[in-house]
Each structure stands twice: as C-alpha cells, then as structure tokens.
C-alpha cells in the first residue's frame, strides 16, 4: 500500500467543510482519513460514505450529465456544473 498515491483528509479539511455546511463526504479506496480528522468528522456530525454508498452521488452526476447533453454542454463547463451542483447539495468527494 503506497501512501504517495493516497488522498489525505486532515482535521483542517474537516474544519473547512464544517463551516461550509457540508453534511457528508464520499471517500474511495485511495482516501486516507487521518486520526485527528476522524475525531473532527464525528464532532462535526459529517457522515463519511464509501464508494459502496455512492448511489446518491452517482444519481446527481447522471441527471446533470443528461441535462448537459440536452443543452450541448461539454468538457470543462460540464465538469464545473457537476461540481457546483454537488457543492449545493452539501456533499464533498474525499480529497477534493
């Protein structure tokens, strides 16, 4: 297991997300949550969901993707819209 390729979640990340109103984050196998961050997540009431729990996130991405196809929106603009919608849902994807 190589730590070099891992996304790290720190207490500072959690503090920032708390003040942004984030209620849940999604992590994958390449995400490492540091011990202080785990405590901060519990204290902040932020739920950590794994890749197995990503159906809600995938549903959001699918709906936005379909909308972008209808409106002929591609590339970076589509990615920006998806990130914006996810942010408005108060969801963070681990390591971002």
The pLDDT assigned to 1 comes to 43
Backbone angles phi, psi at 55, to 5 degrees: -60, -40
**By three-state DSSP, how is residue 40 classified?**
helix
**By three-state DSSP, how is residue 32 classified?**
strand
Tens-place pLDDT, residues 37-75: 999 999 999 999 876 666 777 788 888 888 898 999 988
């Amino acid at each position: 297991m190589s730590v070099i390729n891992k996304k790290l979640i720190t207490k500072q990340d959690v503090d920032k997300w708390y003040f942004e109103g984030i209620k849940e984050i999604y992590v994958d196998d390449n995400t490492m949550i540091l011990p202080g961050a785990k405590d901060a997540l519990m204290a902040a009431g932020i739920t950590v969901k794994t890749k197995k729990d990503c159906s809600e996130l995938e549903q959001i991405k699918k709906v936005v993707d379909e909308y972008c196809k209808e409106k002929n929106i591609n590339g970076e603009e589509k990615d920006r819209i998806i990130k914006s919608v996810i942010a408005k849902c108060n969801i963070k994807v681990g390591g971002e």
